[in-house]
Chains A and B, each alone.
Chain A
Amino acid sequence: MIVAESKPIKELLEMVKDFKKILVVGCKGCVTVCNVGGAKEAAILASTLRISGRKEGRDLVVGEHTLERQCDPEYISELKDIVEDYDAVISLACGVGPQFLSEGYPHKKVFPGVNTKFMGGAVEHGVWAERCAGCGTCAIHLFGGLCPIARCSKSLLNGPCGGSSHGKCEISKEVDCIWDMIVNKMMEQDRLDELVQFRPPKNWTTARDGGPRKMIREELVK
């Protein structure tokens, strides 16, 4: 999933300080799963904004609505009869959501309610960790099913580096050295020889280095 975290409330208040009618839009996708932008969190932010209005003596109208997803135009259009009643919209989706809302309702001022962090998963309840860097050419099978691009601090494809110590990365004792894990995994699977095979340099044009990306599936295009 895409993992995000709430923006500090002070930052959000500053963003919307000039508006009296604010719509908080949640998303039932990734941000619901990582407990930052679903219906529950939309209700919490809406309530927080109303309390702020009460404290400041402002006549603030705050609405809340949660869409199935904010990354598909058909769900964005669900807001067309609702959004007109508001001056500003706060999206609690990942960075995709506020952009789709801005494109769908170009005359509305749309604000991001969360900071999008990374693609990852829940390693325990309430703890998420990065697992994918979206490089566009997945090669985790070459590394024992572990991604050195997302999980090595240097994204090394030929680690470990000299900063690996007792299974930890030099940047922090909290960070596992993924190359230590890769080598151990390959040894367990009796595949260590695969790590010394010559491989050409990775083609990074499929990653962000190739500019903004787009994917077209001709069989799906109408």
Chain B
Amino acid sequence: MDDFKPQIVAFCCANCASSAAKVSHGMKKALPDNIKIVQVPCTGRIETLHLLKPFEEGADGVYVAGCQEDSCQYISGITKAAKRVEQVKGILEGLSIEPERIEVFHMSAGKGQEFVEVADRMVNTVKGLGPVLTA
């Protein structure tokens, strides 16, 4: 399990999380190299299928990094994304896959440190769970 390097896909809001990523870059805080970033104009655009596809294609974890609930530029984007994450958690549970493999995180544009911490936390969680494949 120590050698296990989980593959994680992060859907990041272009307004807050991506700005946080730039700040983290400026702070010389490195993101784990096993995180694949997918930037979206708003997390409200992320459909249930978008969240499932990474698992289908071999990812071990997925997370959505979006705005604070009260500061979404498109008002309810992150709220919608959070509901879809909950739906996918239910689907994963139905498949006897740990729901902790998918999460949603709220962050502000200036929180570069938090952006990296969230990524590290997700890597550690999924590493603890191991690969999706059980057979």
> Closest approach, in angstroms, between the C-beta of A172 and any C-beta of chain B?
25
In the assembled complex, B52 has its CB within 8 A of some CB on chain A? yes
Q: Compute how far the CA of A47 lies from the CA of B50 in the bound complex, rounded to whole angstroms.
A: 10
Instruction: Say yes or no: B95 contacts A52, CB within 8 Å.
Output: yes
Closest to B132 in A: A55
Q: Which positions 84-121 of chain B face chain A at CB distance < 8 Å?
A: 91-92, 94-97
Q: Given contacts A9-B91, A9-B94, A48-B95, are A55 and B133 in contact (CB under 8 A)?
A: yes
Q: Quick one: which of A40, A44, A52 has the most chain B CB within 10 A?
A: A44
Q: Given contacts A55-B132, A55-B135, are A44 and B95 in contact (CB under 8 A)?
A: no
- The 8 Å CB contact of A55, one of B49, B52, B97, is B97
Q: Given contacts A9-B91, A48-B91, are A55 and B53 in contact (CB under 8 A)?
A: no
Residues of A whose CB lies within 8 Å of any CB of B are 8-10, 13, 40, 43-44, 47-48, 50-52, 54-58
Count chain B residues whose beta carbon lies closer than 8 angstroms to a beta carbon of A.
18
Instruction: Say yes or no: A55 contacts B94, CB within 8 Å.
Output: no
Instruction: Say yes or no: B48 contacts A44, CB within 8 Å.
Output: yes
Q: Given contacts A9-B94, A51-B97, are A44 and B49 in contact (CB under 8 A)?
A: yes
Closest to B58 in A: A54
Given contacts A9-B94, A51-B92, A52-B95, 19 further A-B contacts (CB under 8 A): A9-B91, A13-B94, A43-B49, A44-B48, A44-B49, A44-B91, A47-B53, A48-B95, A50-B56, A51-B55, A51-B95, A51-B132, A54-B58, A55-B96, A55-B97, A55-B133, A56-B135, A57-B133, A57-B135
> B132 contacts which chain A residues (CB < 8 A)?
51, 54-55
The tally of CB-CB contacts under 8 A between chains A and B is: 50
Instruction: Say yes or no: B95 contacts A40, CB within 8 Å.
Output: no
Residues of B whose CB lies within 8 Å of any CB of A are 47-49, 52-53, 55-56, 58, 91-92, 94-97, 132-135
> Closest approach, in angstroms, between the C-beta of B47 and any C-beta of chain A?
7
> Closest approach, in angstroms, between the C-beta of B34 and any C-beta of chain A?
18
Q: Compute how far the CA of A54 lies from the CA of B55 in the bound complex, rounded to whole angstroms.
A: 9
- The 8 Å CB contact of B134, one of A13, A40, A55, is A55
Q: Compute how far the CA of A36 lies from the CA of B92 in the bound complex, rounded to whole angstroms.
A: 18
Q: What would be 17 A-B contacts, judged by CB atoms less than 8 Å apart?
A: A8-B94, A9-B95, A13-B95, A40-B49, A44-B48, A44-B49, A44-B52, A44-B91, A47-B53, A51-B52, A51-B55, A51-B56, A51-B95, A51-B132, A54-B58, A55-B135, A56-B135
